Structure 1
Amino acid sequence: TMSSITEIISTAKKHVQDIILAAQQDKLECEPGMTIRESFEAKVNQALNKARDDSGKKAQASLREDNNVKQMVVSGSKGSFINISQMSACVGQQNVEG
């Protein structure tokens, strides 16, 4: 599980580096209705959110049914699967604006 999560995060880092390089070389295309900065932010957020979700799914799949945190989420008493993802795998991009 840990190696697959590490691979997901490494792939996301590479993808974000490619987005940064494209922006620095003026090759990044604007999304409809967005400025170039907004497009950059959206693409980076999309890549990092996908990494968070994918690594979280791997972490959740490895938890046993008798895991206390998993039981709290499944029963609906406290927390969500995103919280399990953040505790077990990675926190992900923290959005400051918007």
Structure 2
Amino acid sequence: MKMLKMCMHPKVIAAMVAVAAGVWLVAPGWFAAALPILFLAICPLSMVVMMKMMMPGDAAKEDTADDSSEESLRERLRQLESQQAAVSEQLRTHRQPQG
């Protein structure tokens, strides 16, 4: 039971239930044939979803990065420097003795 639980991601199960309901509404005659296929597809699709969730967020961006992204990186650096200055100011005012 524990092994089966690891293989089923809740989002994939919800999607499969939605697809099964759609098949039942659109083509009720195909429902009996589609149900076993949908059930068998839950495990591999869950594994794909879990692999995507475990990938770092920047890994996908690195694949699509090119020379035109230099300006966006510079803008991001400016934003981070601005945030750092704001946090430094907050820290300085927090450290001042109150009185």
TM-score (norm 1): 0.31
TM-score (norm 2): 0.31
| Structure in which a larger fraction of residues adopt helix | 2
